[in-house]
């Protein structure tokens, strides 16, 4: 057919040029495209000795055309496709293009999608750590630095022990807040109307007493009797010489001391009314109520054992500048076993510092609640 259109020489020229293009394509196309290029090359080689109509039948076309003109066009198209396959396969290396979204029939525009990153999850605060932080802040604010530094070091060495005792004190204070009132020269004084509700007479107990008519709070009596029993088992007698005092009674004692000793000396020896721990109904004076008591076995026994029963020495030796009073070896205050252990283990055995801490700690807790 092509011969009739272009002649023998023209047909030959077309085939030769096609073979050259096919050969060039053969060396450049990827392996996946060489099968089709080779098939075209082979078909064109056979076309030199056969009719073009027969050669076209060798080309792997999916459709066989009966019309000769359409067959020629198909052959030319195959040649072009074979040559174009020499170019790199962009479709294989390029990511497929995303299909364009079809326009909405209602011409409505969807609102832009906003991605909101989830807020990073925060761990729930540890109650124990919060209490420890709160306690340390109270210590730093309430206690002078020289003592506060040592207290904080002791706490860091045994945080669990500190928090355990503090929790017990908190529980006891929830039902008995008066037990932990700070009563000293610088704190708020007790009012004249302050009288504990559970005072009981010591006359009905087995305790040794220097006089009749003394009273104490029930919890303090129970602890005192337990301590007295333990001392008796070791052959010792704990003589109770002073217990609860009313506001008015303390006023008379202080006035007498001022008259006898002068005001400056009286302030070292006794408290003004409203500032005496005896008004709390939990303070006890033992023995002779003077310095000679420090030399007795009873004093030594109390120093070693009072903490076990919840009693604390209020005015230690050599710490008058801290407590406000000179050493009173005979004056003990009942604060409960947990608070007494807390004082000894973490507050260097100083009741004054413990009370400063508890006052600040609980006051801050009220403000936070």
Tell me the torsion sign for CA atoms 327, 330, 333, 334: positive
Tell me the torsion sign for CA atoms 73, 79, 81, 87: negative
Q: Residue 215: which H helix or E strand, with range?
A: strand 215-217
pLDDT of residue 2: 47
Confidence of residue 34 (pLDDT cuts 50, 70, 90): very low
> For the segment 199-234, what is each residue's pLDDT rounded down to a tens digit?
999 999 999 999 999 999 999 999 999 999 999 999
Long-range contact set of residues 267-270: C-beta below 8 Å, sequence gap at least 24: 267/185, 268/320, 268/325, 268/326, 269/325, 269/326
> For the segment 76-111, what is each residue's pLDDT rounded down to a tens digit?
445 444 444 444 444 444 455 555 545 444 444 455
User: What is this structure's pTM?
Assistant: 0.67
- Tell me if 215 sits within 8 A of 244, measured CB to CB: yes
Confidence of residue 198 (pLDDT cuts 50, 70, 90): very high
End-to-end CA distance of the chain: 105
Domains and CATH numbers, the chain: 2-88 (no CATH), 127-368 (3.30.1380.10)
Question: Could you tell me the two tokens for 197?
Answer: 């509700």
pLDDT surpasses 60 at 19: no
pLDDT of residue 6: 47
């Amino acid at each position: 057919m092509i011969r009739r259109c272009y002649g023998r020489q023209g047909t030959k020229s077309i085939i030769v040029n096609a073979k050259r293009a096919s050969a060039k394509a053969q060396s450049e196309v990827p392996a996946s495209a060489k099968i089709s290029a080779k098939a075209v090359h082979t078909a064109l080689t056979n076309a030199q000795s056969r009719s073009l109509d027969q050669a076209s039948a060798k080309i792997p076309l999916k459709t066989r055309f009966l019309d000769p003109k359409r067959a020629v066009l198909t052959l030319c198209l195959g040649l072009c496709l074979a040559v174009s396959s020499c170019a790199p396969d962009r479709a294989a290396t390029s990511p497929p293009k995303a299909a364009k979204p079809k326009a909405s029939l209602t011409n409505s525009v969807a609102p832009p999608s906003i991605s909101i990153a989830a807020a990073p999850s925060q761990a729930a605060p540890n109650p124990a750590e919060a209490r420890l932080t709160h306690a340390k802040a109270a210590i730093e604010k309430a206690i002078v630095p020289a003592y506060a530094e040592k207290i904080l070091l002791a706490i860091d060495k045994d945080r669990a022990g500190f928090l355990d005792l503090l929790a017990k004190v908190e529980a006891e204070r929830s039902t008995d807040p008066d037990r932990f009132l700070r009563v000293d020269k610088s704190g708020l004084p007790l009012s004249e109307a302050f009288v504990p509700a559970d005072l009981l007479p010591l006359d009905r107990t087995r305790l040794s007493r220097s006089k009749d008519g003394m009273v104490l709070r029930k919890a303090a009596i129970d602890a005192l009797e337990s301590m007295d029993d333990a001392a008796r088992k070791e052959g010792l007698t704990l003589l109770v010489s002073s217990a609860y005092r009313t506001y008015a009674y303390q006023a008379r004692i202080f006035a007498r001391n001022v008259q006898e000793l002068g005001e400056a000396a009286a302030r070292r020896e006794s408290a003004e009314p409203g500032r005496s721990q005896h008004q709390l109904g939990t303070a006890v004076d033992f023995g002779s109520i003077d310095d000679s008591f420090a030399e007795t076995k009873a004093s030594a026994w109390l120093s070693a054992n009072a903490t076990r029963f919840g009693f604390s020495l209020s005015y230690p030796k050599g710490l008058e500048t801290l407590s406000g009073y000179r050493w009173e070896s005979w004056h003990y205050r009942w604060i409960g076993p947990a608070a007494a252990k807390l004082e000894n283990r973490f507050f260097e055995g100083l009741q004054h510092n413990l009370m400063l801490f508890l006052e600040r700690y609980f006051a801050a807790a009220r403000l936070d609640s």
